[in-house]
Amino acid sequence: MSAGGILSIAEVNALPLEQFDWLFGNVVEHCPEAARAVVSKRPFVNKEALKKSFDDYLENLDDTGKESVLLKHPDLAGKLAEVGKLTQESSNEQKSAGLDALTKEEKQTLNNYNYLYKEKFQFPFVICARRNKVATIFEGIENRLKNSRTEELNTGINEVKKICRIRIDDLVWSNA
């Protein structure tokens, strides 16, 4: 999909429920329930209103719900990437950050960071890979390991919002 999207907001508003669910069911990774909650907010006046509906859904989850959303995300350059089991969106995002071209040492370092992060917070490290490269991802995980669990729950959800917004951009034309 191009950065320009494939549908207008009018077309999004006219989609049958099943098609909306199918198209938007993974804008929040493995979370079709987000699409099911957001579809009831139609009609959207523009793409920003659609994005805000997903933001609101994520923001209004309780801590258990937020943790559930984060748990659905794969480890960066982890086992799922190694065996080709990432969603197409995650695969493209990790490639755009250069995570598919890590050296053996970088891969081991990232695996170590992923392990430490999951041990401390009990959910995977989530960062908007399309807005980062390998060096900033390493820096981000190292810095975020210093956070409290509550801070990381909120930071992780904010990263999910960024990912979601970019995925919506891939699906919906700009408002211009």
CA distance 31 to 29: 5
Q: For the chain, how long is the longest CA-to-CA vector?
A: 49
Say which residue the tokens 């329930």 belong to.
33
- Cβ(30)–Cβ(72) below 8 Å: yes
**DSSP letter for each residue of 54-84:** HHHHHHTS-HHHHHHHHHTSPPTT-HHHHTT
The residues annotated as belonging to the active site are: 73
